[in-house]
Structure 1
Amino acid sequence: MLVGVFDGHGEQGHEISASVSMLFARFADTLAKLAEDQTVNPEASVPRHMAHLFAVAQDGLERGGLAEWSGTTATLALIDAEAGVVICAYVGDSRMVICHNQKVLFETLDHDIDHTAACRIAAAGGEVRQMLVSGIDARRVFLKGADVPGLAMSRALGDMQASFCSVTVAVKFCGMCNLWWLAGARAKFPKAV
Structure 2
Amino acid sequence: MGLQKIVIIDYGAGNIQSIKFALERLGYNGILSSNAEEIRMADRVIFPGVGEASSAMKKLKSTGLDKMIPQLKQPVLGICLGMQLMCNYSEEGNTESLGIFDVDVVHFEKGLKVPHIGWNRITDLKTSLFKDVQEREFMYLVHSFYAPVCEETIAKCDYGVEYSSALKKDNFYGVQFHPEKSSAAGEKILENFLSINS
Q: Which has the higher helix share?
A: 1
Larger Cα Rg: Structure 1 or Structure 2?
1
Name the TM-score, length of structure 2 as normaliser: 0.27
